[in-house]
Amino acid sequence: MIFKKGQHEQFTIIDNQAILDGRLSAKAKGILLYLMSRPDDWQVYESEIKNHFTDGIASIKSGVKELINIGYISRAAQHDHKGRFSGYEYLVYDKPQNQAILTISRLSVNGQSHTTNIDETKDRYNIRQPKKDKLTKQEIISVATYDFARTEYLKEQV
């Protein structure tokens, strides 16, 4: 899902903050600009991004990781009905999201639900026990950022 100002078919409008952001490499800026040119409901796949650049897949993955670390992209693992990993869902923003204030999450540090262990609730909110024992602080922040942004976007759609 792509979050950006205005919607235009023949050109892309992007906040200058992303272009002037000294924390981003030229590669990351190029990937972000490409993603901002896609429709709002466009599904992000790193392999598809690669088809539009001369860089290899490892380079694209490192550029996407850079955008995630700085806050222009949030990525959340998706699971099928049996709990198996089925890919990622990406949220892309034209401005970095302030991850420091987004600390609300449905997961605690050990990956368990805060309020329940009922399977129905886990399925409803796609809560799954991670394979490792504990989530890192960055993983918790990423989940919280993704969850908050998706909730806000869905509110706007109603």
Could you give the residue range(s) of every CATH 1.10.10.10 domain in the chain? 1-95
What mean pLDDT do residues 76-88 have?
91
Task: Give the Cα separation of 124 and 143 in Å (integer).
Answer: 16
Q: Which CATH architecture has domain 1-95?
A: Orthogonal Bundle (1.10)
Of the pLDDT bands very low, low, confident and very high (cuts 50, 70, 90), residue 75 is very high
Task: Give the Cα separation of 105 and 148 in Å (integer).
Answer: 8
Of the pLDDT bands very low, low, confident and very high (cuts 50, 70, 90), residue 14 is confident
Of the pLDDT bands very low, low, confident and very high (cuts 50, 70, 90), residue 113 is very low
117/103: higher pLDDT:
117
Task: Give the Cα separation of 90 and 149 in Å (integer).
Answer: 11
- Global pTM reads 0.60
pLDDT at 15: 84
- Closest Cα partner for 48 from 59, 60, 58, 39? 60
